[in-house]
Amino acid sequence: MLPICLILVIGISILIIVLSLRKKKTAKEIVNEMGIGWNLGNTFDCFEKSKKFNSPDEQITAWGNIIPTKEMILKIKKYGFKTIRLPVTWMHFIDESGNVNSDWMSRVKEVIEWIIKDKMYCILNVHHDGVNGNWLSEGMKVKNKYINLWSQIAEEFKNFNDYLIFESMNEVKFQIGDKYDFLTLLNLNQLFIDTVRNSGGKNGDRLLLIAGMDGNADLTCSSEYSIPIDPINKFGVSFNYYVPEKFTLELDSAPWTYELENVTYEVISMTHWGEKDDYEEMLNNFENIKKTFLDKQIPVIINEVGVLTEEKKESKSIREFLFSSFLLSIDYDGIMVCLWDTSKKGAGDMNFYDKENDRWYDEKIGDFFTKI
């Protein structure tokens, strides 16, 4: 008969082998598990080009929201959300080489720990750094700074479990003249993958999100958009869904204008959404996403869906647009959607959940998310 200590050693060894052989989740399986998501908007992503913030909390509160707390962040889970996207603008707390201020990194880390310790997924990104005029909009000229930034993020979080997901960029629009520069986007996305995958720890198997062009679904689904190479093929593509913009984004007081063949056209903002053509447009767009990515086993995270709530948009139409977007995403294998929410009235213009007082401005929207 074998000694008890030897039996224990053998048993532990077998358990380790079994765990190591356990099938790892695919990118699509993780995206499906992420359920529905919510953005902690206009908080860590605040920026002001001409201003210096003396502390992390000055940036976090710059646009009117209060400092988030653990209790505030975790309350969103009870409404059915399994994912929180944490948009982070790094520009105010990195130097010219991309070295991150330790206090800023600690504040970011604190919130991520709140999220994943409650078994919610967290998407961490590089957010408004790519806005036109900000440093990342310079593209390959700042590639070393970009690599250094992601090297530090990857190092800081390399031992976090797979509830943490990295997103390369947000709404970065690279252009050469009048044409979109898809090559620069591809190159930076590739540098992101290479940097994270080679950083050690659990980053070698972490789900990574590859940014689309300008956060735009049509541009990202175009034939010009290219996918970088991931050695383990565990990635998804991310972009926004604000379609049609004249309903979701354009201000009622400021008509949308565009120029074509030297003629300026004016499009008055929509306040109503929900006609047959609106539903058909949304369905056609989702089918295009399916054809472009899902059919190739590439999952998609629509990282922002929302409607201006402070600009005379019809409440019923806002609800119908959100309900349709989220319900339609559930019908597709490999798509999940995150609500863009600036939370506090006066601190943004897409306000849905009042996180200070734990209530929804439109209770029907809160009920919807809870039920689905």
Tokens 């765990």 found at: 19
Exposed e or buried b per residue across 321-337, where buried means at least 16 C-beta atoms within 10 angstroms of its C-beta: bbbbbbebbeebebbbb
Q: What is the pLDDT of residue 8?
A: 52
Burial status of residue 169 (CB atoms within 10 A of its CB: 0-12, 13-18, 19 or more): buried
Structure tokens at 92: 């105010």
Tokens 């007081």: give the residue: 253
Mean pLDDT of 236-244: 97
Q: What is the pLDDT of residue 186?
A: 98
Residues paired with 83 in a beta bridge: 37, 121
- Summarize the confidence of residues 24-35 as an average pLDDT: 96
Average confidence score pLDDT of the chain: 92
State the average pLDDT over residues 179-207.
98
- In Å, how far are 53, 222, 261, 329, 358 from 289, measured between CA atoms? 40, 10, 30, 11, 34
| pLDDT at residue 262 greater than cutoff 90 | no
User: What is the pLDDT, as a whole number, of residue 251?
Assistant: 72
Nearest partner of 339 among 365, 310, 358, 300, judged by Cα: 365
The confidence score (pLDDT) of residue 223 equals: 96
| Res 1: pLDDT | 54
Beta carbons of 155 and 199 less than 8 angstroms apart = yes
Residue 342 has pLDDT above 70, yes or no: yes
pLDDT at 312: 85
Asked if pLDDT for residue 43 goes beyond 50, the answer is yes
Mean pLDDT for 142-168 is 98
This prediction has a pTM of: 0.91
Q: Residue 179 pairs with which residues in a beta bridge?
A: 176
Of the pLDDT bands very low, low, confident and very high (cuts 50, 70, 90), residue 15 is very low
- Residue (of 246, 250, 257) closest to 349 by Cα position: 250
Is there a contact between 159 and 202 (Cβ–Cβ < 8 Å)?
yes
Residue 81 structure tokens: 């959300």
Contact 61, 40 (CB under 8 A): no
Mean pLDDT of 180-196: 98
**346 falls in which pLDDT band (50, 70, 90)?**
confident
Looking at the predicted structure, is the pLDDT value of residue 172 above 60? yes
What type of residue is 165? I
Residue 315 has which token pair?
Answer: 């409440």
Say whether pLDDT at 365 is over 90. Answer: yes
More confident residue, 116 or 11: 116
Tens-place pLDDT, residues 129-153: 999 999 999 999 999 999 999 999 9
pLDDT digits (tens, 9 = 90+) for 51-108: 999 999 999 999 999 999 999 988 999 999 999 999 999 999 999 999 999 999 999 9
Residue-level pLDDT at 68: 96
How far apart CA 151 and CA 194 sit, in angstroms, is 10
Over range 304-326, report the average pLDDT. Answer: 95
Q: Is the pLDDT of residue 9 over 60?
A: no
What angle is formed at CA 234 by the lines to CA 230 and CA 239, rounded to 5 degrees?
Answer: 90
Tell me, what's the pLDDT at 18?
Answer: 39
**How would residue 195 be classed by pLDDT, with cut points 50, 70 and 90?**
very high
Residue 16: pLDDT band with limits 50, 70, 90: very low
For residues 95 and 116, what is the distance between their CA atoms, to the nearest angstrom? 29
Closest CA to 207 of 166, 171, 246: 166
